[in-house]
């Protein structure tokens, strides 16, 4: 099983830590369905170099491409197919462009693989694998444990990543995931006890939920947080502005150990939200959401997209100024990118505004379409300027000053400064293949200043306490 490197992650000069954050959880999940006597190797090009010529030819090769790793994925697949190896390929890019991927694979998968991967394995063992498997049955019940024994933990800053839901209840037209989940449920959850059992199997304190929207099913989320309360875990996740503003849910998350939340604000121009079907943000008070998180002791990783049709050349400075004024700890900026098969792609293709299909450049750092409110040069220059300005020491200090107290200011400086201002140190850790050694520092930053006072029954010293057993809650797309 190989996770090909994103094109933007292959620079020989610097290795930003974001490419060494998470192990290939999707492939390790698929590996859980293999028989005990199957011999399997999991390789991640983001953290280890792969010499195709020296690799032995397996019976089966599984490759998971993303859009900016598609070229490399096809290169790997073609190499092994020439040796007579059966190549299977799935994931976001394959689902978006299955015919393109099928030219480089013997079997392709569209959508999530909980139902199709076991069916393929049975067919493969019987000597009759199909050319294509399309996901229709969506459930996380009865899944085998993730094969974490295949993950080289020392190569990742956050080896304890996990996913306890699939998809998202919202349907923004620039999101890749809508096409991925077409043909079945687009948002569903594990049983709560299964999710808690997966958490119990993970060593240490720190967790990172890679779910697109951990708060998306309130009943599931509340039961999960109740089960985690008192275990001494510290964790990070993603949720929407709207879910942050709902009373009660955030407080349960914080009591369960939430210390940092990724929030997709996307744009400071409300006119863009309706146009891009980001309906969950329309009318939401962004500043109130940030205050609510900070008051609860939760840091904010804000996401913004530049180049939407209502954006003009002033959008970069306005966005950075707002984020700094709110005391947002970290921000990720993106150039709007029309991924194949999304609503945005279909619109821009219909308007003749797509510039090319060089997937290497569909990395949210390059302009691949004709913008409306500015030139392509203005958009790319503004994107890079936003990063430089937000992470200037002067703005990091200004952001820290906006925090409610001295501990929060110190945490802001440690987290924002450590993320962007010490990239040479990150580079050395990555090259030494011991980036996990920075995990204790991350845990100290998350635990030292965050969280509300305990509401009873929990442990703040990191020692786990007994958790109650909760009845399994099956996932439902409607949240009931």
DSSP code, position 304: E
Helix and strand counts by DSSP (H, E) for the chain = 19, 14
| Confidence class for position 464, pLDDT limits 50, 70, 90 | very low
| Confidence class for position 452, pLDDT limits 50, 70, 90 | low
pLDDT given at position 16: 63
The per-residue pLDDT for range 348-407, each reduced to its tens digit, is 999 999 999 999 999 999 999 999 999 999 999 999 999 999 999 999 999 999 888 888
Q: Which CATH class is domain 157-448?
A: alpha beta
The per-residue pLDDT for range 24-76, each reduced to its tens digit, is 999 999 999 999 999 999 999 998 889 999 999 999 999 999 999 999 999 99
Q: Give me the helices (H) in 111-165, please.
A: 116-125
pLDDT given at position 466: 31
3-state secondary structure of 93: helix
**Among candidates 261, 294, 267, which has minimal Cα distance to 282?**
267
Q: Give the residue extent of every domain in the chain.
A: 2-134, 157-448
Q: HEC profile for 3-69? A: ECCCHHHCCCCCCCHHHHCCCCHHHHHHHCCCCCCCCCCCEECCCCCCCHHHCCCCCEEEECCCHHH
Q: What is the mean pLDDT of residues 88-96?
A: 95
pLDDT given at position 454: 41
Least confident piece of the model among 222-226, 263-267, 430-434:
430-434
pLDDT given at position 169: 76
| Confidence class for position 119, pLDDT limits 50, 70, 90 | very high
CATH number of 2-134: 3.40.50.280
Least confident piece of the model among 119-123, 333-337, 421-425, 450-454:
450-454
Cα angle: 70, vertex 75, 76; to 5 degrees: 100
Residues 396, 413 contacting (CB under 8 angstroms): yes
pLDDT given at position 180: 80
| Residue in the structure block whose two tokens are 């000053």 | 401
Q: Indicate whether 105 pLDDT > 60.
A: yes
**Among candidates 384, 339, 342, 343, which has minimal Cα distance to 365?**
384
Same fold, 2-134 and 157-448: no
Q: What is the pTM of this model?
A: 0.87
Provide the mean pLDDT of the chain. 86
The per-residue pLDDT for range 291-321, each reduced to its tens digit, is 999 999 999 999 999 999 989 999 999 999 9
């Amino acid at each position: 099983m190989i996770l090909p490197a994103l094109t933007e992650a292959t620079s020989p000069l610097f290795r930003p830590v974001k490419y060494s954050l998470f192990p290939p959880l999707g492939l390790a999940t698929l590996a859980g369905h293999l028989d005990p006597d199957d011999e399997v190797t999991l390789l991640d090009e983001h953290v280890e170099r792969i010499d195709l010529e020296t690799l032995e030819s397996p019976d089966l090769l599984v490759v998971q491409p993303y859009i900016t790793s598609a070229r490399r994925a096809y290169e790997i697949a073609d190499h092994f197919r020439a040796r007579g190896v059966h190549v299977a390929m799935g994931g976001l890019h394959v689902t978006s462009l299955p015919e393109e991927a099928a030219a480089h694979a013997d079997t392709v998968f569209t959508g999530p693989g909980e139902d199709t991967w076991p069916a393929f394995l049975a067919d493969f063992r019987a000597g009759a694998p199909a050319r294509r498997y399309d996901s229709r049955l969506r459930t996380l019940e009865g899944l085998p444990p993730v094969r974490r024994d295949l993950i080289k933990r020392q190569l990742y800053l956050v080896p304890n990543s996990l996913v306890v839901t699939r998809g998202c209840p919202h349907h923004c037209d620039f999101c890749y995931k809508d096409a991925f989940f077409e043909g079945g449920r687009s948002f569903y959850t594990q049983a709560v006890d299964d999710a808690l059992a997966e958490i119990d199997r993970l060593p240490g304190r720190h967790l990172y939920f890679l779910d697109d929207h951990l708060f998306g099913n309130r009943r599931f989320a509340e039961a999960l947080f109740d089960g985690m309360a008192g275990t001494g875990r510290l964790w990070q996740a993603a949720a929407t502005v709207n879910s942050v503003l709902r009373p009660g849910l955030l407080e349960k998350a914080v009591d369960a150990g939430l210390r940092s939340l990724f929030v997709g604000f996307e744009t400071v121009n409300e006119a863009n939200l309706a146009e891009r079907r980001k309906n969950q943000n329309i009318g939401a008070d962004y500043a109130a959401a940030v205050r609510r998180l900070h008051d609860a002791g939760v840091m904010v990783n804000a996401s913004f997209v530049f180049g939407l049709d209502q954006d003009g050349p002033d959008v970069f400075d306005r966005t950075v100024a707002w984020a700094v004024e709110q005391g947002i700890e970290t921000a990720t900026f993106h150039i709007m990118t029309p991924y194949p098969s999304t609503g945005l792609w279909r619109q821009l293709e219909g308007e003749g505004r797509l510039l090319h299909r060089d997937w290497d450049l569909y990395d949210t750092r390059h302009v691949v379409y004709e913008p409306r409110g500015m030139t392509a040069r203005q958009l790319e220059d503004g994107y890079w300027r936003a990063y430089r300005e937000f992470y200037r020491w002067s703005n990091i200090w200004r952001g820290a000053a906006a925090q409610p107290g001295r501990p929060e200011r110190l945490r802001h400086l440690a987290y924002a400064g450590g993320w962007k201002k010490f990239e040479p140190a990150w580079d050395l850790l990555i090259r030494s293949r011991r980036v996990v050694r920075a995990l204790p520092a991350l845990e100290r930053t998350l635990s030292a200043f965050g969280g509300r006072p305990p509401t009873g029954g929990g442990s703040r010293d990191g020692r786990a306490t007994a958790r109650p057993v909760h009845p399994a809650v099956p996932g439902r797309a409607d949240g009931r």
